[in-house]
Amino acid sequence: MEKWKNDLEKIVLINSHTRNKKGVDRVGDFFAAWLGEIGFEVKRYERELIGDHLLFVSPKTGKREKILLLGHLDTVFHPGSFEGFEEDEEWVCGPGVCDMKGGNIVALEALRAIHEKFSKIEDIDFLLVSDEETGSDDSRQLTRELAAGYDKCFVFEAAGPDMEVVVGRKGIGTFEIAIEGKGAHAGTSYDKGYDANLEAALKLQKLTALTDLQKGSTVNVGRIEGGVGANTVSPHAKLLLELRYADNRERERLLGGLEDITAESFVKGTSSRLSGSIQRDVMEPNAWQKELVEAMGEIAGMKIGTEMRGGVSDANIVAAAGVVTLDGLGPYGDGDHTVRERALKRSFEERIELMTKVLAYHQERGAICG
């Protein structure tokens, strides 16, 4: 069995749902051992309720640009919901094979190859966080702070179907509007109540109208709660919503619209309160990414395609910190977040070869481009 596949199987067989701290830490321990063998030191950010975040550090020379490799240790699968590792001639199947234990293995194998060639690795670090699948609520600030120390970042989420790398991801925010009305008996005192449910329904329509698919912006009210019973004018209601946007101009439009809709009372007597935040800001394509992709293609002797995605990753966080960031450097797969998750075997080999050539160039020349 190829070494990459042998190691992938070891960690796929460990349940590492975000809330399974023991399992996430076991996966992290494998990487600590593997990367320790090739000279990395580990800086552990210990957590009580989730897995520890791990930063693997190589010596710094001051002579090269500093590279950050980025991945996550957790998966979406609760213990017992999806387990095992299987393969056929073309595919490997199991929880995390493409999202993103497979991507972490690509990074590991490239680093092993670099160490074998040069007998050392310098100016490359590898960050593995433990809570990406639940929005990186804990690790977000850590990733943002660490990112400031690097020139370029490679993120090992799954590749596109034609092995594209990802140069753009939408921003995402989750918000709640809590509405207060006034309860009243629907039969005897209907006119004395302030209907929070009706206010919620009217706000829902206004919020949905903010969606502009041509600009890549969506507002989705995914859950509504309200009222106490059929015979009572609703005294309270809640709207849970998500917004996504493809550029910063749309971000400001959506946030402004959200605040205006919250502040306006469509039903007399009701009041509303907005809470929530942007989880990950937009990752917009830029000229520095284009230069990096072109340089990687020249180094590896191949044409590298690019794509934008509506989904988010921790690449959003690093890109928002001003670091030149490319995502989608893991293997190609599909069915992620389902029991049909799989990854294409040959895509592992292609990505390992690409990243080995690129990182070797960095070790020899000090910079990939720029």
Over residues 109-148, the pLDDT tens digits come to 999 999 999 999 999 999 999 999 999 999 999 999 999 9
pTM over 0.85: yes
Instruction: For residue 39, count CB atoms less than 10 angstroms from its CB and return exposed for 0-12, middle for 13-18, buried for 19 or more.
Output: middle
Mean pLDDT of the chain: 97
Residue in 178, 175, 177, 179 with CA at minimum distance from that of residue 195: 179
Contact (CB, 8 A) for 21 and 51: yes
* Cα-only R_g, the chain: 24
Residue type, 144: R
* pLDDT (mean) for 228-233: 97
Q: Is pLDDT above 70 for 1?
A: no
Q: Where are the domains of the chain?
A: 3-169+282-365, 171-280
Q: How confident is the model at residue 66 (pLDDT cuts 50, 70, 90)?
A: very high
* pLDDT (mean) for 285-291: 96
Does 3.30.70.360 match the CATH number of domain 171-280? yes
Tell me the two tokens of residue 12.
């796929």
* pLDDT (mean) for 72-85: 96
Torsion region of 59: left, alpha or beta (phi above 0 gives left; psi -120 to 50 gives alpha):
beta
Contact (CB, 8 A) for 286 and 319: no
Strands (E) across 119-226 are located at 124-129, 152-155, 165-169, 171-180, 184-185, 218-226
Q: What's the N-to-C CA distance of the chain in angstroms?
A: 39
Q: Is pLDDT above 80 for 340?
A: yes
What number of other Cβ atoms are within 10 A of residue 60's Cβ? 13
* pLDDT (mean) for 258-287: 96
At 161-174, the pLDDT tens digits run 999 999 999 999 99
Q: Per CATH, which fold does 3-169+282-365 belong to?
A: Aminopeptidase (3.40.630)
Which helix (H) or strand (E) is 68 found in, with range? strand 67-72
* pLDDT (mean) for 199-220: 97
- pLDDT of res. 249: 95
CA–CA distance, 343 with 151 (Å, rounded to integer): 30
